[in-house]
Amino acid sequence: MRVIVPISVGGWARLFSRWDVLAVLLILGLLAFLAEASRHLLEPLAELRRQPVSLDPANLPEYAARTALRMLIAMALSLIFTFTYATLAAKSRRAERLLVPLLDILQSVPILGFISVTVVFFMALAPGRVLGAEFAAIFAIFTSQAWNMAFSFYQSLRTVPTELKEASRNFRLSPWMSFWRVDVPFAMPQLIWNMMMSMSGSWFFVVAAEAISVGNTTITLPGVGSYIALAIEHRDLRAVGWAIGAMLIVILIYDQLLFRPLVAWADRFRFEQEAGDLPPRSWMLDVLRRSRLVHRLTRPFALLWRRLLLARWSERAAPVKRERQSRHPWITFQWLVIVVVLAALALWQVLRFITQGIALADVGTALLLGLATLSRVVALIAIASVIWVPVGVWVGTQPRAANLVQPVVQFLAAFPANLLFPIAVSAIVAFRLDPNFWLSPLMILGTQWYILFNVVAGAAAIPAELRAAGVNFRVRGWLWWRRIALPAVLPYYVTGAITASGGSWNASIVAEVASWGDEHLHASGLGAYIAQETEAGDFHRIVLGIAVMSLYVVVINRAFWRPLYLYAERKFRLG
């Protein structure tokens, strides 16, 4: 006798599993998030004046959604920039000579510099609409994310193990296939850690990105950053607490729905997998893998991606002779001449613009203020290195610790220095302290984590056989650090230190000018100089400050960090 199972029990169970139910809820939540965050994009710009940012906590969910969407779009643009710009710099020696120094300059330009130069352009893309201001804010957030990710990916491509390259050549993979099957998987674990750092670091500058003020132009977009700026202006500690709570919730959501699944997924790409290590887990990744609904929805995209990969399977790796021929001295000389001419023209235009509105004494003042900021950056990077390198090595070699530390560090890295202004300003005023010294720690709060995240990624990449060799030979104490830990993490540390150094220069525009209500403190430095001239709308001195800051950063990177990186890559490269 045939038993008929009611569809309410058996049929629905076959059609929809619990993973499908979770997937439906997540998809509905994503659609609601996108609808809420984007529903004001096409409104007239005058609507921002009629409905200004309010400190009412009831508005924080909407503000948090809009800020989260801006940061997510900026992250997507940063990934596109990373995969193109960093790959070209790593794969082409001639392009590297131009792109890497240019990246040094870009990371040295403060966010206020980008805003002051680009705000008019982006506003013109959507005249009279909120969308133009959103473009400007997203681009500003992009500038706080992209450079770190590009440096990380560039460093990973430069250190791909020799055996992986040989396997790619033996299988005769085309450059396209080799990039997606070898280069990207190898770089993915470190890139994801730096994506987390970039996302967290962008919170540090979200106040400037959402509360744009250049001369007589003031645009305040609803968001957590503008909410924080208004709370500081009104000295509302209660509102500051609400902002911290909203930030914490957004960071936890990002961690659970985006970064933790990425970390668990990227564990499959670890070049070495130590026996006995528990792989990271993510409930979100389990939903994506086990839901049949997600599988059906994503199957067309997966097939399209597979076809894009296989479409170039027939292309063979470029012969060595062609590569050698492309490096003809005359072609190299022509390329060098073009680069020098373009750099000279750009420098001439900058000097021409600057000299129209300032005197030679202003240049000397900017250079002296740059030395003051430089001394702070050097001292703070040294202190952060001494503290976070040992911690990063310990976390990177302990997978369970990494899973616990990851969300905590994300929140600490995302904590804007602006929220500490009430404590810093009140303490400095109450105890009559010197702002030139006591405002300095605010510069490193958001950038020290670049060092920690990169060292963690480097320690996690130490091959299992190298660790086992250290144990078998009883290499302990300082000898273990000198022979195993420090050589393994040095390339990663230099990458993090370069980004932390550039980020500290950027952070100086916020940290050297602190305010709490009517109380304003200024430290002597180039960051305060740029912030004050931006508020005054003096574009000549803004460009002067940016040019001097770029000069300091490029000279330091060329004279110190790059030689140290090349030394670490040449002497301590694994494989």
Q: What is the pTM of this model?
A: 0.78
Strand residues in 132-216 grouped as ranges (E): 211-214
What integer pLDDT is reported at residue 215 of this predicted model? 55
Residue type, 199: M
What integer pLDDT is reported at residue 375 of this predicted model? 92
- Tell me the per-residue pLDDT of 336-382, one tens digit each, with 9 for 90 and over: 566 566 666 766 666 666 566 677 788 889 999 999 999 999 999 99
Q: In terms of DSSP H, where are the helices of 311-359? A: 320-326, 329-355
What integer pLDDT is reported at residue 405 of this predicted model? 75
What integer pLDDT is reported at residue 385 of this predicted model? 93
- Alpha carbon 399 to its chain centroid, in Å, reads 23
- Tell me the per-residue pLDDT of 75-91, one tens digit each, with 9 for 90 and over: 999 999 999 999 999 98
What integer pLDDT is reported at residue 165 of this predicted model? 84
What integer pLDDT is reported at residue 316 of this predicted model? 46
**What tokens does 378 get?**
């050097």
Minimal CA–CA distance to 489: which of 568, 391, 379, 383? 568
Residue type, 457: A
Give 268-326 as a DSSP string.
Answer: GG-S---TTPPPP--HHHHHHHH-HHHHHHHHHHHHHHHHHHHTTTTPPPPPHHHHHHH
- Alpha carbon 411 to its chain centroid, in Å, reads 14
- Tell me the per-residue pLDDT of 397-438, one tens digit each, with 9 for 90 and over: 887 777 777 667 766 766 666 667 677 777 887 788 888 888
Low-confidence ranges of the chain (pLDDT < 70): 1-16, 112, 213-217, 271-278, 309-344, 346-357, 406-407, 410-411, 413-419, 421, 516-517, 571-575
Minimal CA–CA distance to 106: which of 132, 139, 155, 63? 139
The C-alpha atoms of residue 518 and residue 539 are separated, in whole angstroms, by 26
Cα of first residue to Cα of last residue in the chain, in angstroms, is 67
Backbone phi and psi for residue 220, each to the nearest 5 degrees, phi listed first: -120, 110
What integer pLDDT is reported at residue 240 of this predicted model? 85
Domains in the chain with CATH codes: 45-271+358-572 (1.10.3720.10)
